Amino acid sequence: MERWNKSIRLSLSITVLVLSVSTFARTLKCDFIVDNLCYEILSEEEHTVGVSYDFHGDYIPELKNKRPTGELIIPDTVVFNGTKYTVTEISNYGFEDLFSIPSVKLPNTLKIINDGGLCQALSSEELYLPPSVEYLGFAALVNNNLKTVNLENVKYFGSYALMKTSVTEAYIRRNVQYDAGVFFKCNELEKVIIEDGVTSLPSYIFGNCPNLRKVELPNSLTDIGDHALDGCTIDSITIPKEVKILRHGLLAENHNLKEVILLEGIDTIEYWVFLNCYSLEKIHIPASVRYVHERAVYFFKEPDDPTPQIKDIYCEGTTPPKEGCYVEGGTLHVPKGYKEIYATTDNWAKYGENIVDDIELSGIHNAQLKTQDFDTPKYDLQGRRVAHPKQGEIYIQGGRKVMR
């Protein structure tokens, strides 16, 4: 089935990637052992070390099964051959696959948790990161039952750093680097705050977070990666005008999505942006859009799938976007006097008699005069909700421009 080949398999492949790397990429580097922990000398000049374990005895047989039975305490410093070393890193996959550590006390000198450093290691729901920790590597905390972890001092989040944890809130801060899928498959994630000034969101950052129902995107955003909000339960969202490209799979599998506000300025809508968005009833495509992939709106139509609710596509441009997206049984609404142009252009022509030229052009960026539907939320042209709209002003309502 196509759904399996394209959607589920993609999710599984990412999971397998994270788990397989943690399983097979680990190579223990141990220069000395203190209290059953292995230490790798990072710098003889600065006297710094990274820390790891070998409780499975894969490399050092005498350490087999000498795992902690209570809290794992990693010291700030250790002494070897009369030299004091400062612990600044958890080594690559240093404590992965332990599963049973009830809690861990990290050293106050720690700066870096490397790739897979605490992958599948903790049974506790809380982890305290010392303020000195600024770097979380690839899959650093993946697949832990963590609900609370302080991340305010971290400056770099590697790909899938917190994948499959139980965190309930995420704060995306400006001047911080986030790689792909940082919060991928965080099933308990409910609240996301994206700081004003953030300009980009990477691919899959909130992909497959089924309890994520609301995300407010700041106007500072200029780029959103593919599948960034795939598989959530968002019901309404406004895409900022500076985001020029809606990348593939951006809002795919948001089955509760009913309202999308696309502001003037968007240029391209790629494939599967609205894949299986069954609750979406209409889409308003701004006049600025020059390209719409033929499968921007698409449904797999498996036997047990809900019935798609989409009935109306509104294209506000006097020049039809290239390629075009046909929705079976839908009605295409175009500006008055431009029916014939759409009826002879790319996939828009497939609507045939279901093309209606009923969009009024006011000359002000194709804004529509509209004096009804006062119960529908209104937004200004920057995407901010307006509680008390003023007479004669232009607003976004129901995904289209209106004049109060």
DSSP secondary structure letters along 359-396: EPP-SSTT-EE----TTS-EE-TTS-EESSPPTT-EEE
Instruction: Judge if 1-143+150-164 and 168-404 fold alike in CATH terms.
Output: yes
Q: Provide the token pair at 353.
A: 């008699």
Q: Report residue 98 as tokens.
A: 């332990």
| H/E segment holding residue 21 | helix 9-24
Query: At residue 208, does pLDDT exceed 60?
Result: yes
Four-residue CA torsion sign, 139, 145, 147, 150: negative
Report the alpha-carbon distance of residue 323 to residue 387 in Å, rounded.
38
Integer Cα distance of 83 and 230 in angstroms? 51
Whether residue 53 contacts residue 91, with contact meaning beta carbons closer than 8 Å, is answered with: no
The pTM assigned to this predicted structure is: 0.84
For the chain, the average pLDDT equals 88
The predicted-structure confidence for 321-355, as pLDDT tens digits, reads as follows 999 999 999 999 999 999 999 999 999 999 999 99
How many Å separate Cα 381 from the centre of its chain?
25
Helix or strand or coil: residue 88?
strand
Q: Is the pLDDT of residue 86 over 70?
A: yes
Task: Reply yes or no on whether the pLDDT at 229 is more than 70.
Answer: yes
Question: Tell me, what's the pLDDT at 389?
Answer: 73
Architecture of domain 168-404 in CATH?
Alpha-Beta Horseshoe (3.80)
pLDDT tens by residue, 113-135: 999 999 998 888 999 999 999 99
**Percent of the chain scored above 70 by pLDDT?**
83
Lowest mean pLDDT among 146-155, 172-181, 385-394: 385-394
What integer pLDDT is reported at residue 91 of this predicted model? 96
pLDDT of residue 199: 98
State yes or no: pLDDT of 365 exceeds 70: no
pLDDT tens, position by position, 150-166: 999 999 999 999 999 99
Contact yes or no for 37/74 (Cβ under 8 A): yes
Distance separating alpha carbons of residues 10 and 353, to the nearest angstrom:
38
- Domain extent listing, the chain: 1-143+150-164, 168-404
3-state secondary structure of 67: coil
Residue listed under structure tokens 């079976």? 328
For the domain 1-143+150-164, what is the CATH code? 3.80.10.10
Which pLDDT does position 391 carry in this prediction? 59
Chain centre to alpha carbon of residue 263: 21
Residue 208, classed as helix, strand or coil, is coil
Whether 374 and 397 have beta carbons less than 8 Å apart is answered as no
